[in-house]
Amino acid sequence: MVRRARKTGQVQMIFVTSRKLDFSDLVRDLTAEFPEIETVAVNYQTSKSSEIYGDRTEIIWGKEAIQEGVLDYEFSLSPRAFYQLNPEQTELLYSEAVKALDVGPEDHLMDAYCGVGTIGFAFAKRVKSLRGMDIIPEAIEDAKRNAKRMGFDNTHYEAGTAEEVIPRWYREGYRADALIADPPRTGLDDRLLETIVRYAPPKMVYVSCNVSTLARDLVKLSQVYDVRYIQSVDMFPHTARTEAVVKLVRKESVRMP
């Protein structure tokens, strides 16, 4: 996999293999030919699942991460960290999410599936606190470093699944006024849906990359939320795929526990 940062031009290469291989000659030739390469990594995927990456990643040449930018901030991307494939449209996507959620300076915000923190950082200056979680530990470490570098002292990040971390935060007394949900194509986990319906933060933005699972999840979320609008963002031109930004507001009739 090859990733190029639009803002900095830095390139990151990840070889995915099921066993230990010697890439030294190839890396020497590639880095000599392409000086913009900053990171070369190997990811070991030994399972027979459909997932591209395995759990173990090793940097074999260069830096731990490359630098990318979106809107008015820059951030680090380690090899396994997810980031949108279309940087230009990502700025539009995040701007639409900010418009939809409409947070204020007293709001506490949760960012489910936060990755390296990119979408949450668009809100960090606007809210009292921001908490995020992701299943990839390397992404969480990136998020922590990125937040510190940008001076956001109102953030907190943890590695783990949203369906496990968010209920625990509620049990510990942290109450969200707003929620960002930007799940993978599989949509929201059933346990997370149950948690959202139970605690129902007053406002929510759902960023979806799969309209089929979005439609399924909105059936459940409509128990406690009204869908104010859905804005599509064309992240993959000339394909049938599109992202959707959904503005959800808690129903006035909903009574909270």
> 182-237, pLDDT tens digit by residue?
999 999 999 999 999 999 999 999 999 999 999 999 999 999 999 999 999 999 89
- Are 124 and 152 within 8 A, CB to CB? yes
Which DSSP helix (H) or strand (E) runs through 234?
none
* Percent of the chain residues past pLDDT 90, beyond the cut: 75
Q: Is the pLDDT of residue 46 over 90?
A: no
Residue 74, domain member (yes or no): no
Per the domain annotation, does 56 fall within a domain?
yes
Cα 65–Cα 71–Cα 73 angle in degrees, nearest 5 = 45
Confidence of residue 255 (pLDDT cuts 50, 70, 90): confident
pTM, entire model: 0.85
Domain membership of residue 71 (yes or no) is no
* pLDDT band, very low/low/confident/very high, at 257 (cuts 50, 70, 90): low
Question: Could you tell me if 46 and 107 lie in one domain?
Answer: no
- Enclosing domain of residue 44: 2-63
Q: Quick: pLDDT tens for 127-176.
A: 999 999 999 998 999 999 999 999 999 999 999 999 899 989 999 999 99
State the catalytic residues.
209
Distance CA 96, CA 100 (A): 6
Tokens 């190839």 -> residue: 26
Give the model confidence (pLDDT) of 64-93 as tens digits.
989 888 887 787 888 888 777 788 898 999
In a shared domain, residues 135 and 184: yes
Are 120 and 239 found together in one domain?
yes
Residue 74 burial (CB < 10 Å; 0-12/13-18/19+)?
middle
Domain count, the chain: 2
